[in-house]
Amino acid sequence: MVSQPLGGIIAGLASLGVGAASVAVVSSSDSGADPHAAEEETVDADPVETRFKQLSDLRHECATRVGASCNELGREHETRKDLWGGEIKGKGVHRDDAKALLYFRLACDYDDGNGCYNLARMYETGKGVAKDAAEAESAYTRACVLIGGEACAHLDEPPLPAAPKLRF
């Protein structure tokens, strides 16, 4: 029989990221309870495995034309700097602006306005791609149509609203 303190040790190891997803802890008591009964403690899954599962789900959703997931993958891959100019490492991904641009383009193609906005921003600043004012304006126009707001502020002339569909 294993005593109760071992359960605390196992739980402590699990909080440090060591161990499996589920651990059975057997405790004996003098209260006359069944000595073969086991209490099962559930330990949180490994955070690294959880992160890779999240990224895998995002990739699958992007592949099935979910624009918001493509945009999120673009945000994950885009390089970022902290307040002091140091690069912020990605969580489970390598930061790569070219890959971020690819995901933003997919998001825009799948009618995600935020993806179009991020694509335009990258073309405007030359991040991960050569600066291209025409591509930036085209993406800002599409973002303006899809989400409005700040995307329209980047345009000299916002696009005209789509004509309402008339029913006869």
- The pLDDT tens digits of the residues spanning 93-150 come to 889 999 999 999 999 999 999 999 999 999 999 998 999 999 999 999 999 999 988 8
Token pair for 111: 């009618």
The total of other beta-carbon atoms located within 10 Å of residue 70's CB is 26
Rounded-to-integer distance, Cα 77 and Cα 58, Å:
12
- For the chain, which domains are there? 4-42 (no CATH), 47-153 (1.25.40.10)
| Distant-in-sequence, close-in-space partners of 157: CB < 8 Å, separation ≥ 6 | none
Percentage of the chain exceeding pLDDT 70: 68
Specify whether the CB–CB gap between 139 and 105 falls below 8 A. Answer: no
Q: Which residues pair with 39 in a beta bridge?
A: 25
Q: How many CB atoms lie within 10 A of CB 135?
A: 17
Count of residues in the chain: 168
**pTM (2 d.p.):** 0.67
Residue 121's pLDDT is 95
Q: Which long-range contacts (CB under 8 A, 24 or more apart) does 66-69 make?
A: 66/110, 67/106, 67/107, 67/108, 67/109, 67/110, 67/111, 67/112, 67/115, 68/107, 68/112, 68/114, 68/115
Tell me the three state secondary structure of residue 34.
coil
What's the chain's average pLDDT? Answer: 79
Query: How far apart are the C-alpha atoms of 101 and 106, rounded to whole Å?
Result: 9
